Amino acid sequence: MTALRAHRAAQNQQKLSLGEAYQDQGLVFCREDGTPVHPDRFTQMFDKHVKASGLPRIRLHDLRHTHATLALAAGIHPKVMSERLGHSTVAFTMDVYSHAIPSMEAEAAETIASLVRGSGP
């Protein structure tokens, strides 16, 4: 949040300095004049930073999969993740990310067994 607030402040300064020349399109990330940045530019910048970090190469889109997988494995409700990811159905989300769930099977079985035994989850 701190980084986004700082970015917004800098963007507001840019708007003020350019005045009517600034083309406000309501974008969070844009060129200095407010026009859109080509999506390939984000990928190029991401690849550059990953390479500089010395980490193994991953695609920018892999961050989306990591986010979804970690969230589902942590117990975030699939409906919430489906909405966050912009999927049309929870079924699609579960089909794509079901690999994140197998470790939860044993936990689910134990929880149900505890309920049947009357000892609670």
What are the residue boundaries of the structural domains of the chain, listed by start? 2-53, 60-117
**121 — pLDDT class (breaks 50, 70, 90):** low
Residue 59, pLDDT above cutoff 70: yes
Q: What are the distances in angstroms from CA 70 to CA 43, 55, 62, 74, 92?
A: 22, 19, 12, 6, 17
Residue 73, pLDDT above cutoff 90: no
More confident residue, 100 or 66: 66
Q: What is the mean pLDDT of residues 94-106?
A: 75
pLDDT value of residue 108: 78
More confident residue, 102 or 97: 97
Residue 103, pLDDT above cutoff 90: no
